[in-house]
Amino acid sequence: MLPKNEICILNREIDIVRTPVKICHVAAEIAPIAKIGGLGDVVYGLARDTARRGHELAVVLPKYDILLEEDIAGLERLPGVFDVEFQSAVWSNTVWKGAVSGLQLFFIEPHHTSHYFNRGCIYGCDDDVERFLYFSKAASEFVRKELQPDVLHIHDWQTAIMAILARENSNAKILLTLHNLDYQGRCSPYELEKIGLDVAAYYNAGSMQDPVYPEALNLLLGGIRHADFVTTVSPTYAQEVQHSFLGNGLESIIKENAAKFRGILNGIDYEYWNPETDPLLPAHFGPRESSDAQKNQPTIASKGYVKRALRQHLLLEEAHRPIVGVICRLVPQKGVDLIRYAIEAVLEKGGQFVLLGSSPIPAINEEFYALKRRYGENPNVGIALQHKEVLAHLIYAGSDIFIVPSNFEPCGLTQMIALRYGTIPLVRQTGGLQDTIFDHDYGEPSPSKAQGYTFKDPTTEAFDAALTRAMSCWKHYHNVWRKIVLEGMEHDFSWKKPGEEYLKIYQGML
Ligand code: ADP
């Protein structure tokens, strides 16, 4: 039995988690209707988890022209407009309301002559800083007038300035999540004038002046200093950004704020990413060899059917070979050199290689288009250079091995999704990859947790050694492989535990 004082602490924690909180996320992305990468998945998954626990949730986003409107229930324009002062002029804005998977969403549509969110993209415009400063200012106004949350949860540099703007006009406690320190919103100090902030008050070493480029202002830094609490997306990355170059210039500032900083491992939404029910798959499968007739649950056998469908889709030949998959933004962070190297390495070892990716960097894009042409006729290579949700599901489910050779990775979701779909991850030991995937051959931290392959050095030799081990297990030890697959699918990377940790932070701030 627990000692009395520990029971008191436990009860207090349970009470904290149960008291309903009114939470508002403001972000640039949400899956699946406006998503580029993990940010969209995290906002969707975390908000849904908190809503399921009985808390009041709203998410505020820009009204992009590329929103997948057909996937938004009850999308409607709210009556009236509200005004925002920006660059010494007053602009009106319309708000749209709708729902995705039961989540209440609000979309802000500026009537600004620069058409900030009618650009056919989420990011990548020359005036991104201006676009998201406008959005942050408008969202602060809207949240104050209409939502009045207890907690305002903002994400990345795009909404970091709300830690200052919303503080001026609301009592909400503010939590900032850092999804990737590679993107900080460095800009001219005079950008602040556009949102009516006094440049002199914030452009100084104690506030938002960038420590690496002192002539610049750093929006993320402002968020870190002014938010009530700051999280990042895995415990290892939380250490890396304080103690290595991965802090990208902000390491000492994060260290100074360590008392209000924590790494919480992201989850994935287990309803959305579920091989037993996924509506985007041609067949369903689950973590079992056989099913009792009454329950009629899908077995692992149907994964083979999805593998065939993947081959047909990418025009690969039907053969007894493992499929090695990768899905990512093609940017240096993701280890594009090793991804390129992997094509030949996989072929040499008798496998098939599939890649789904897109790049915002023209030189990388061209390079991968050249690879696509070079392997165009090869029946063992499929390269799709696009952003396509349906194909992503088919690759997660139809592959045998999934590689994530990142140079750094704040958390990474693809390795967790792959594992849930019975596809064994092979990852570099960094950031969240290190917190989630453990090497089967070494059995650490415990054999039941070790359902993947890992390598440490970002070199072709280290990658190759791990790939050889994974592919030879697939080829020569069928029963061992099957066991790894089934046990890996049973891992719990849902939002259950991280969702609880976020709730404790929300309540703790209040
Ligand atoms: P990051 O946020 O750095 O891009 P994550 O691993 O955290 O990386 O999240 C990536 C998310 O984006 C996953 O849901 C993945 O399936 C998705 N994704 C990445 N590239 C593509 C693509 N080309 N098509 C479809 N989905 C993609």
CA 413 – ligand 1 centroid, Å: 7
Q: Buried b / exposed e across 360-375, counting CB within 10 Å, b at 16+?
A: eeeebeeebeebeeeb
- Rounded distance between C-alpha atoms, residue 80 and residue 383, angstroms: 48
| DSSP structure string for 391-408 | HHHHHHHH-SEEEE--S-
Atom index in ligand 1 nearest the CA of residue 392 equals 25
CA 273 – ligand 1 centroid, Å: 13
Model pLDDT, residue 453 = 97
Model pLDDT, residue 18 = 62
CA 336 – ligand 1 centroid, Å: 14
* 458 close to 474: Cβ distance less than 8 angstroms: no
Strand partners, 383: 355
The pick from 272, 328, 404 for probing ligand 1's pocket by mutation, whose C-beta has the most ligand atoms within 8 angstroms, reads 328
- Rounded distance between C-alpha atoms, residue 234 and residue 243, angstroms: 15
Model pLDDT, residue 19 = 77
Q: With a 6 A CB cut-off, is 269 part of the ligand 1 pocket?
A: no
Q: With a 6 A CB cut-off, is 392 part of the ligand 1 pocket?
A: yes
Q: With a 6 A CB cut-off, is 37 part of the ligand 1 pocket?
A: yes
CA 123 – ligand 1 centroid, Å: 15
Q: With a 6 A CB cut-off, is 41 part of the ligand 1 pocket?
A: yes
CA 197 – ligand 1 centroid, Å: 35
Tell which phi-psi region holds residue 28, choosing left (phi > 0), alpha (psi between -120 and 50) or beta.
alpha
Closest alpha carbon to 170 in 154, 182, 184: 154
For residue 459 the two structure tokens come to 């070199």
Strand partners, 106: 60, 97
Model pLDDT, residue 55 = 97
Q: For helices 496-509 and 4-18, give the axis angle rounded to 10 degrees.
A: 90
- Rounded distance between C-alpha atoms, residue 216 and residue 306, angstroms: 50
pLDDT 10s digit of each residue in the chain, 510 long? Answer: 444 444 444 444 445 556 789 999 999 999 999 999 999 999 999 999 999 999 999 999 999 999 999 999 999 999 999 999 999 999 999 999 999 999 999 999 999 999 999 999 999 999 999 999 999 999 999 999 999 999 999 999 999 999 999 988 789 999 999 999 999 999 999 999 999 999 999 999 999 999 999 999 999 999 999 999 999 999 999 999 999 999 999 999 999 999 999 999 999 999 999 999 999 999 999 999 987 767 789 999 999 999 999 999 999 999 999 999 999 999 999 999 999 999 999 999 999 999 999 999 999 999 999 999 999 999 999 999 999 999 999 999 999 999 999 999 999 999 999 999 999 999 999 999 999 999 999 877 776 778 999 999 999 999 999 999 999 999 999 999 999 999 999 999 999 999 999 999 999 999
Q: Which amino acid is at 112?
A: H
CA 392 – ligand 1 centroid, Å: 9
Model pLDDT, residue 14 = 45
CA 89 – ligand 1 centroid, Å: 38
Strand partners, 95: 108
Q: With a 6 A CB cut-off, is 358 part of the ligand 1 pocket?
A: yes
Q: With a 6 A CB cut-off, is 181 part of the ligand 1 pocket?
A: no
* 327 close to 395: Cβ distance less than 8 angstroms: yes
Dihedral angle computed from the Cα positions of residues 210, 406, 155 and 29, in that order, rounded to the nearest 10 degrees: 130
Q: Please list the helix, strand and coil fractions of the chain in percent, rounded to the nearest 5, in that order.
A: 40, 20, 40
* 224 close to 257: Cβ distance less than 8 angstroms: yes
Q: With a 6 A CB cut-off, is 413 part of the ligand 1 pocket?
A: yes
* 97 close to 75: Cβ distance less than 8 angstroms: yes
CA–CA–CA angle 163, 509, 271 (5° rounding) = 90
Q: With a 6 A CB cut-off, is 38 part of the ligand 1 pocket?
A: yes
**Cβ–Cβ contacts within 10 Å for residue 148, how many?**
13
Q: What is the pTM of this model?
A: 0.94
End-to-end Cα, the chain, rounded Å: 31
Closest alpha carbon to 343 in 315, 311, 382: 382
Q: With a 6 A CB cut-off, is 436 part of the ligand 1 pocket?
A: no
CA 41 – ligand 1 centroid, Å: 9
CA 38 – ligand 1 centroid, Å: 6
- Rounded distance between C-alpha atoms, residue 195 and residue 193, angstroms: 5
